[in-house]
């Protein structure tokens, strides 16, 4: 069988099996985290601009935008997927260098609302989307990430698989959906190497593409079943010939959704270890920001290339500036949404500290990427004190996970200001009981 056929066969076979309790719990965590990312992004550009651009597809249809506005299925997938990736707080699958939640859950929820399915079916679809797409992302590896934005490319598979599961496509149609969406995969790294709104649009477009491919397959549209592993296929064209046998080996036994990274900072995930390490070393040394003479950050190549802005001028640039996020963490103690508002962006103490921060590739840490996201921090203080710390992982990674309580706190911090404290809390309670929901209309 071809790769898409093997994924489809697993999804069809697993459809009749009970969801393991641990897997179900982690799926709900993913849905809660997605909502935490959705609401703050829904009231910002580009989501609010997409609402204007797609006005003909709004105020009708059976799907909904974040704040309850009716939308057609594909418009909801596009706008919600974009919103969930806008403020850079959405989940990560570390080994796949990929944010699965934004495209996968946006597609699944829009289709679930349109089909009026129950909560358990939504969660099952989310799991299927995560399990298939994360394996494709991990197989494509660093070679793919050199030029491509995995959330735009790999996200198409997550969205498509989730939609195909909700539509209960048989093996043949499920495989054709995956084959079709493979040729929709896009999203260039260069699109966010300068200030633009393209990066979150990648997630939204992936959600829309996945839904489109699944709906088309339901009606009989076919794709090239060897499009992933073929001589001119996805693996060879956009990576260096992945090992698909290895990618499929643990499918159905080892559930990747149980090993998600949930962000603890509102910026590029490549900077997290540096932030965590800098804060830990500052606390250990008992330093005020003004006492810090120099900070040296050792990181992996992707961290240097993506979080590269030296003198960020806008919130989007600041989220991808290693120097800025480390400096603002050391001066203010955190890197949350307030870090990217005007008072913080223009803070003189932060800007001065940025000039005393240097960032370089650490060969040892680079060799461990993407399975390990580490940073080496050295701080020199007044009076000649100098200490160094290796931050081996990020707070929120599978080996240092956010607790359910910490995840709830993150959700309330992000959703509360948009929805209001009471409505946000009620939605959170419903999400924890999602498997019991009779319908999602």
303: Cα within 13 Å, side-chain hemisphere: 32
In the chain, the percentage of residues whose pLDDT exceeds 70 is: 100
Whether domain 269-391 has CATH 3.30.1330.120: the reply is yes
Whole-angstrom CA distances from 100 to 239, 303, 316, 321 are 19, 19, 20, 23
pLDDT at 440: 82
441, pLDDT greater than 70: no
Tell me the pLDDT tens digit for each residue of 291-347.
999 999 999 999 999 999 999 999 999 999 999 999 999 999 999 999 999 999 999
Do 3-264+401-436 and 269-391 share a fold? Answer: no
Tell me the pLDDT tens digit for each residue of 133-148.
999 999 999 999 999 9
116 pLDDT tier (thresholds 50, 70, 90): confident
287: its two tokens: 């330093």
DSSP string, 341-391: SHHHHT-HHHHHHHTTEEEEE-HHHHHHTTT---EEEEEEEGGG-EEEEEE
pLDDT at 225: 98
193, pLDDT greater than 90: no
Angle between helices 171-182 and 150-166 (to 10 degrees): 160
Tell me the pLDDT tens digit for each residue of 346-375.
999 999 999 999 999 999 999 999 999 999
What residue spans define the domains of the chain?
Answer: 3-264+401-436, 269-391
d(CA 366, CA 301): 6
In the chain, the percentage of residues whose pLDDT exceeds 90 is: 98
Mean pLDDT, the chain, whole residue set? 97
43 pLDDT tier (thresholds 50, 70, 90): very high
pLDDT at 439: 86
pTM attached to this predicted model: 0.95
pLDDT at 256: 98
204, pLDDT greater than 90: yes
Tell me the pLDDT tens digit for each residue of 253-281.
999 999 999 999 999 999 999 999 999 99
Tell me the pLDDT tens digit for each residue of 422-438.
999 999 999 999 999 99
- How far out from the chain centre does Cα 417 lie? 22
d(CA 196, CA 266): 17
When pLDDT is averaged across residues 44-59 and rounded to a whole number, the result is 98
CATH class of 3-264+401-436: mainly alpha
Considering only the C-alpha atoms of the chain, give the largest distance between any 2 of them, rounded to a whole number of Å: 73
pLDDT at 133: 98
d(CA 105, CA 98): 14
């Amino acid at each position: 069988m071809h790769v898409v056929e093997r994924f489809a066969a697993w999804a069809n076979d697993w459809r009749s099996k009970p969801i393991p309790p641990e897997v179900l719990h982690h799926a709900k965590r993913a849905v809660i985290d997605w909502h935490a990312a959705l609401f703050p992004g829904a009231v910002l550009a580009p989501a609010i601009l997409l609402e204007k651009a797609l006005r003909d597809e709004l105020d009708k249809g059976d799907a909904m935008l974040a704040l309850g506005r009716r939308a057609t299925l594909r418009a909801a997938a596009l706008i919600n997927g974009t919103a969930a990736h806008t403020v850079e707080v959405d989940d990560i699958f570390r080994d796949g260098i990929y944010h699965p939640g934004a495209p996968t859950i946006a597609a699944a929820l829009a289709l679930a609302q349109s089909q009026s399915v129950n909560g358990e079916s939504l969660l099952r679809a989310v799991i299927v989307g995560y399990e298939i797409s994360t394996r494709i992302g991990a197989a494509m590896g660093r070679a793919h990430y050199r030029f491509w934005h995995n959330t735009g490319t790999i996200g198409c598979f997550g969205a498509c698989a989730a939609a195909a599961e909700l539509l209960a496509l048989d093996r043949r149609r499920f495989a054709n959906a995956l084959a079709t969406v493979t040729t929709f995969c896009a999203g260039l790294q260069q699109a966010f190497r300068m200030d633009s709104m393209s990066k979150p649009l990648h997630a939204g477009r992936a959600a829309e593409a996945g839904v489109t491919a699944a709906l088309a397959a339901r009606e009989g549209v076919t794709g090239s079943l060897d499009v992933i592993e073929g001589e001119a296929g996805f693996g060879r064209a956009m990576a260096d010939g992945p090992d698909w046998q290895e990618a499929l080996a643990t499918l159905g036994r080892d559930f990747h959704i149980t090993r998600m990274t949930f962000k603890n900072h509102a910026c590029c995930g490549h900077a997290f270890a540096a932030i965590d390490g800098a804060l830990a070393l500052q606390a250990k040394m008992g330093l005020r920001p003004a006492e810090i003479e120099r900070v040296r950050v050792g990181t992996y190549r992707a961290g240097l290339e993506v979080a590269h802005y030296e003198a960020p001028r806008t919130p989007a640039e600041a989220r991808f500036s290693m120097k800025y996020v480390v400096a603002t963490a050391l001066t203010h103690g955190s890197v949350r949404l307030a870090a990217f508002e005007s008072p913080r962006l223009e803070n003189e103490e932060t800007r001065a500290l940025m000039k005393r921060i240097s960032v370089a590739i650490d060969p040892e840490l680079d060799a461990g990427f993407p399975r390990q996201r580490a940073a080496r921090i050295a701080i020199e203080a007044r009076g000649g004190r100098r200490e160094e710390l290796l931050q081996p992982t990020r707070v929120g990674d599978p080996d240092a996970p956010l607790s359910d309580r910490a995840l709830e706190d993150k959700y309330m911090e992000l959703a509360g200001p948009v929805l209001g404290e009471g409505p946000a809390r009620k939605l959170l309670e419903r999400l924890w009981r999602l498997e019991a929901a009779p319908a999602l209309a």
